[in-house]
Amino acid sequence: MSAPQSAAVRPSGAAPLSGTALVTGAAGGIGAAVVRALATAGLPVALLDRDAPALWELAGELAATGARVLAVPADVTSAKEVDAAVATVETELGPIENLVNGAGVLRSGPAIEMDDEDWETTLAVNAGGVFHTSRAVAARMVPRRRGAIVTIASNAASTPRSSMAAYAASKAASAMFTKCLGLELAPYGIRCNVVAPGSTRTPMLTALQGDAAERASVDGVPAAYRLGIPLGRIAEPAHIADAVLFLLSERAAHITLHDLTVDGGATLGV
């Protein structure tokens, strides 16, 4: 669905952004926060997620404010669906200049007890989805010699976590894929970066440990060799969205292959 582009003036101090944006995992959590931030900045935004009802609801809400949005239900684990979605976005909204890989799932549990389906699904969404979407969009960016890609990974990609082997491995794969892609695309002026959130107030965090998740994240879990958060609070989705928009913007014009950790100091800057 689409609506006329908002005529709202970009908020004072906002990072300079332009061009159509595509966000995967757009229906909730961090993805939805990124969508809202991009729409507020005045960009046409395509929302991609396999949760069609939630996707239509968010798109309708934003369209009612005057934002130019397009809901594209698709499963990032399917290369065919992703390719079709990208083609639709470019036809309806214009050339994609900003891609945010936000789709992700979390299947937790001890590595030796994890079943094949949990492992394969986690890798298929968190790593395979980044591959499918980045490949489809980057192939179109190269002839135009412009664009920016940001993959939302996790601080777990570089710090071992108990009961999160599949998630950590998938995020490490997505982060390194993004950096390798960025090396290959640099000659075309296309930048590829990673945002690595820590614990963030999303349904995914609540699903992990219920209501105790936030306290455990802030205080740490010594028995699991997990540090707490020095800033004493978990992130809000908007904090992650701010980092994403910065890396997409012209203020980050000379930044590529970078991993920006947004975790309140939980991994001590490592």
Q: Alpha-carbon distance 198 to 207, whole Å?
A: 15
Spatial separation of the C-alpha atoms in residues 111 and 219, rounded to whole Å? 24
Q: Kind and range of the H or E element at 238?
A: helix 237-248
- Is residue 92 within 8 A of residue 2, CB to CB? The reply is yes
Catalytic residue among 43, 86, 136, 167: 167
Decide: helix, strand or coil at residue 101.
strand
- Which residue, among 20, 1, 269, 31, has the nearest Cα to 144 in the 3D structure? 20
- Number of Cβ within 10 Å of residue 259's Cβ equals 17
Structure tokens at 49: 């997620």
DSSP string, 102-167: -------S-GGG--HHHHHHHHIIIIIHHHHHHHHHHHHHHHHT-EEEEEE--GGGTS--TT-HHH
**CB neighbour list of residue 249: distance below 8 Å, 6 or more residues apart:** 15, 16, 17
Structure tokens belonging to residue 204: 């995914």
Q: Which of 40, 2, 3, 47 is nearest to 21 (CA)?
A: 47
Dihedral sign of CA atoms 239, 244, 245, 246 in order: positive
User: Would you call 225 a catalytic residue per the annotation?
Assistant: no
What stretch of H or E contains 57? helix 52-64
Just list the catalytic residues.
Answer: 167
